Structure 1
Amino acid sequence: MDTLWPAHGIDSVDPCDFEAIFGRSAPLVVEIGFGNGETLAQLASDQPQVNFIGIEVHRPGVAQLLLQLKERELTNVRIFCADAVEILTHCIADESLSGVNLFFPDPWPKKRHHKRRLVNPDFLNLLARKLKCGGFFHAATDWEDYARHMMNVLEQCDRLENVAGRTKFSPRPAHRALTKFERRGQKLGHGVWDLIFSRRADL
């Protein structure tokens, strides 16, 4: 990881000039909690015109993504190994993001742990501040209870609008690649729920 980090890693905890970091001006999309990096690497490969920022707290996942970026020779990804809320708060300018992806976050299924769930009103208000008007927030989960929790909280955020229509889940967009984990789940009959909201232009 240490040898590959300089090419893609960002150590700063201060406001970042991503145009300078990437060496170009391009739409900026964040993926929070990218796990082993499989989906992020595929998105970056499929959308070379987009600059991607990956945020992940677990070093093994960061190391896996770095290897994939090297193997695919991808130059449009930068990585923070840090807490997502801290990075959104301190490093990313308001109204600068074209989109934020949150795929299969920890559902914290036990009731006493629900307060640890990332998608909550404070997080969504922060996220909405960072999105450009018309920017998207795309979440996906294979836990129905968490899907309904996210839907309830998202529908109460007046800065975000459900692309599929009020209280409706979205079909999986073609650009969200199926992971090995998700394909296994499909074979076992597990459901997956996608939620796509956009930043309202009038708020």
Structure 2
Amino acid sequence: MTESHDTQVEPQDDAQPDQRKHRAIKSFVMRAGRMTEGQQRGLDIGKPLYVLPLADDFVDFDQVFGRSAPRTLEIGFGMGHSLLEMAAAAPEQDFIGVEVHRPGVGALLNGVLTHELKNLRVYDCDAIEVLKRCVADASLDRLLLFFPDPWHKSRHHKRRIVQPEFAELVRQKLKVGGVLHMATDWQPYAEVMLEVMQAAPGYKNQAPDGTYVPRPEERPVTKFERRGERLGHGVWDLKFERLN
């Protein structure tokens, strides 16, 4: 998420050509960050309770949550504020968050413990691997991608998560009628997202004019977004529904 301000390690492209050819391109880099006492508490106590392992077979989430309910998966929840707010506001729904940043995972888990939430589980690994290996086809009602790294430099555009292959993978995991909801505060990336999704088969843009939707009420506004609004920054929301 772009709202995280931890130092990022610049990706290195100095590997040999044959190494790069066989290495999957990641849309994220592991970031360094100090752990607060609360974040460490979240990891120490919450990880055994709420973090799911990367499986080699599809997970029965009905069994994990002990019920069948509308299910949302969020990729890259950052420090977890929005995901925690959504889960607390909708106890009748189940939520799955995916994030590789350990302080963010710890912060979310600390919030889960504090609010005693039962409807949220976490993966602390690559979201693409989670989708491919753990999530059954046609099992999600929503997939959320809020403020992913825009990878501003042209030579890093290949690292952007929103690519045709990603759109197709998400379509497989959504139920028919399920929704991919994306948001970004970087207009050039919003335009790329729109271009990719308009070309992706099996989707319908929920925006009446075929572009962007107004900010949906169910997406919480973070303090970083409020600060951006004060500075005149825009945010673009996109919602695409799986048709078939």
TM-score normalised by structure 2 residue count: 0.81
| Regions of 4+ moved over 4 Å | none
* 1:5 corresponds to: 47
Gaps of 5+ in 2: 1-42
Secondary structure of 1:185's aligned partner: helix
Secondary structure of 1:3's aligned partner: helix
Distance in 2 between the 1:72 and 1:171 partners?
30
Q: Does 1:91 pair with 2:157?
A: no
Amino acid at match of 2:78: G
* 1:195 corresponds to: 238
Residues 29, 97 of structure 1: 8 Å contact kept: yes
Question: How many residue pairs end up in the alignment?
Answer: 201
Q: In structure 2, which of residues 203, 220, 231 is the aligned counterpart of residue 160 of structure 1?
A: 203
Q: Which has the larger radius of gyration?
A: 2
Q: In structure 2, which of residues 54, 72, 77 is the aligned counterpart of residue 29 of structure 1?
A: 72
Distance in 1 between the 2:216 and 2:122 partners?
24
Q: In structure 1, which of residues 35, 44, 67 is the aligned counterpart of residue 110 of structure 2?
A: 67
**TM-aligned CA deviation for residue 2 of structure 1:** 2.4
TM-align CA RMSD: 0.9
* Percentage identity across paired residues of the two chains: 50
Amino acid at match of 2:155: R
Distance in 1 between the 2:209 and 2:194 partners?
9
Distance in 2 between the 1:78 and 1:65 partners?
10
Kindly report which structure 2 residues correspond to 1:1-203, keeping only aligned pairs within 5 A, or say none. Answer: 1-14=43-56, 15-165=58-208, 167-200=210-243, 203=244
**TM-aligned CA deviation for residue 166 of structure 1:** 5.5
Residues 55, 82 of structure 1: 8 Å contact kept: yes
**TM-aligned CA deviation for residue 73 of structure 1:** 1.4
CA deviations 1:9-56 (Å, max 9, x no partner) are 101323211011111111111000000000000000111111100001
Residues 155, 166 of structure 1: 8 Å contact kept: no
Gaps of 5+ in 1: none
Distance in 1 between the 2:209 and 2:175 partners?
21
